[in-house]
Amino acid sequence: MGFSTQDISQIEKKGISFQKVEEQISIFKKGNVSVNIREAATLRNGILAIDENEKEDLIALYNSRKDDLKILKFVPASGAATRMFKAFYNFLKEFDPNEEDLDHYIERKNNPKLELFFSRMKDLPFYETVLQQIKENGRDYDSLPENEQKLLFVRMMLGEEGLNLGDYPKGLVPFHKYEDHLATAFEEHLREAVDYAVAGNKVRIHFTVAEEHLSKFEEEATRIVPIVEKESSKDFEITYSFQDSKTDTIAVTKENEPFRDENGEIFFRPGGHGALIENLNDREADLIFIKNIDNVVIPKNRKILAENKQMLAGKLLDLQAKVFESLTKLEKEPSEEELEEMISFLQKKLNSGLSIQFDELSKEEKISALKRKMDRPVRVCGMVRNEGEPGGGPFWVTHENGDISLQIVESSQIDHENYQQSKIAQEATHFNPVDIVCSFMNFKGEKFDLHQFVDEKTSFISNKTRDGKELKALELPGLWNGAMSDWISIFVEVPVETFNPVKTVADLLKPSHLIK
């Protein structure tokens, strides 16, 4: 495949190696590689159930050590709110109150969330704000027929002449209505962090944002950080980073040729949230909480959220201490008895198997194999009971080399055309809410290079369009999927009350988002 001098110059300016581009084109040619799921991870088969006594012990362990650690909360927050309002952008295009009744439109679209929105819109956190905007625009809302009221409300909610919410980052959309103010998801993440991510007197939070939204986040931080600092008597350190353009991936045509824009330049696309492994790798911390921007709780659920976050962190610290102890012994001359204890710990507590040839290895080779298995970043992931939310789940996966490991697998990674694989997928009992506590410090106090633990084969090809033309796009291995494939992974059941995502605006009308 030939590239012009201009192409090569463009690739170099993005900071992408020519070899990386060729590797990506090779992936397009091979097509998607499905993950071979062996069985669903379930309670006591890959997912731990922590009883109350152990939970209290783990919380106490975390709280006894946290002030000596550098703790960070890491929040992927680059998503725009556009998807939250997708059905309502369609509504503005399609609904004509002079031609169709609203009830008929809702029935025709067969979207329960549309019905929920229009029947309960007075409970939206920004309902009064939209009405005020309508009034300031000189419209008499109360005098309009109901169908026209609803249309005007949506237009003012989304339009530039109104709140323009769809053009905001999701993290800055008002999620909750308090007596004295509206709270964005950004604000709620600050308030939550006070309950579980404090070291000494400091709360450190890092947001990954789209570069064009940075000034809006900074404005929100200027407004709310002093208020939360005063209320909590804590000091906040808020930092931001962008998805690096060198993690963009090349788009290709159906024939796997580079897709070009109207100027004849190669078209690159953002590589998905898997690109954030770069941002995570750049952070400096002993322990990191990872949680998506749209997953926040109201005050009545903050206590249960904090307890479970502390429990997950305590579990990580407990296991990590034992891993470090084992690695320290492996550096010396462990006895046969100590080796057997480490093998048992690896298999029973770290969900990691050894090759069938392990017993035939020499002692030195066994030590080397155990080091490779233990000297890795570690993550403890909360898992909630599956209640129909879209997204990934926990599975035991068989790799090409025969190894078996615990992984978070997205539905798109599974070959649903394969009856056996589809059947296993349907047996999943739990869901990944992106509730992760992790550490990438080794037993010598050095940082791991997270690039070394990514499974590049788990990138995913999807079909997109640009300017009406079809193209194929490449998503990098997901941040909590293939990008963490070779981490030590521990899955723990957590209550569903700790998981409260907002995928559409109608989700803000769920009881778990309403402050009464």
Orientation angle between helical segments 102-109 and 112-120, nearest 10 degrees: 150
Q: In DSSP terms, which residues pair with 430 in a beta bridge?
A: 385
Strand 37-40 with 404-409, pairing: unpaired
Q: Write b or e for each residue in 313-327: b if 16 or more Cβ atoms lie within 10 A of its Cβ, otherwise e.
A: bbbbbbbbeebbebb
- List of the chain residues with pLDDT < 70: 1, 388-391
Please answer whether residues 125 and 157 qualify as being in contact, where contact means their C-beta atoms are separated by less than 8 angstroms: no
The residues, ordered by sequence, that sit 6+ positions from 177 with a Cβ below 8 Å of its Cβ are 125, 126, 183, 515
For residue 263, the model assigns a pLDDT of 87
Separation of alpha carbons 512 and 492, rounded Å? 22
Separation of alpha carbons 505 and 173, rounded Å? 10
The residues, ordered by sequence, that sit 6+ positions from 22 with a Cβ below 8 Å of its Cβ are 1
Nearest to 31 by CA among 415, 333, 354, 316: 415
Nearest to 475 by CA among 457, 464, 492, 462: 462
Place of tokens 């439109």: 105
Amino acid at 385: R
Please answer whether residues 39 and 396 qualify as being in contact, where contact means their C-beta atoms are separated by less than 8 angstroms: yes
Separation of alpha carbons 451 and 472, rounded Å? 25
CA angle 12, 15, 16 (to 5 degrees): 80
What is the rounded end-to-end Cα distance, in angstroms, of the chain? 62
The radius of gyration of the chain's CA atoms, rounded to the nearest angstrom, is 25
Q: Residue 471, Cβ neighbours under 10 Å: how many?
A: 19
Please answer whether residues 170 and 294 qualify as being in contact, where contact means their C-beta atoms are separated by less than 8 angstroms: yes
Phi and psi of 477, rounded to 5°?
-50, 125
Please answer whether residues 490 and 163 qualify as being in contact, where contact means their C-beta atoms are separated by less than 8 angstroms: no
Domain with CATH 3.40.50 in the chain: 69-77+170-242+283-296+501-516
Strand 460-466 with 469-475, pairing: antiparallel
Q: What is the pTM of this model?
A: 0.94
User: CATH topology for 69-77+170-242+283-296+501-516?
Assistant: Rossmann fold (3.40.50)
Phi and psi of 471, rounded to 5°?
-145, 165
- E strands present in 306-449: 378-385, 393-398, 404-409, 430-431, 435-439
Nearest to 394 by CA among 423, 430, 420, 435: 430
- E strands present in 242-369: 249-250, 268-269, 287-291
CA angle 50, 55, 59 (to 5 degrees): 145
* 405-420 pLDDT, tens digit each: 999 998 888 999 999 9
For residue 469, the model assigns a pLDDT of 87
Separation of alpha carbons 28 and 324, rounded Å? 41
Separation of alpha carbons 422 and 37, rounded Å? 9
Hey, what are 469's tokens? 């033309």
Strand 404-409 with 287-291, pairing: unpaired
Hey, what are 59's tokens? 């919380």
Q: How many CA atoms lie within 13 A of 347 on its CB side?
A: 10
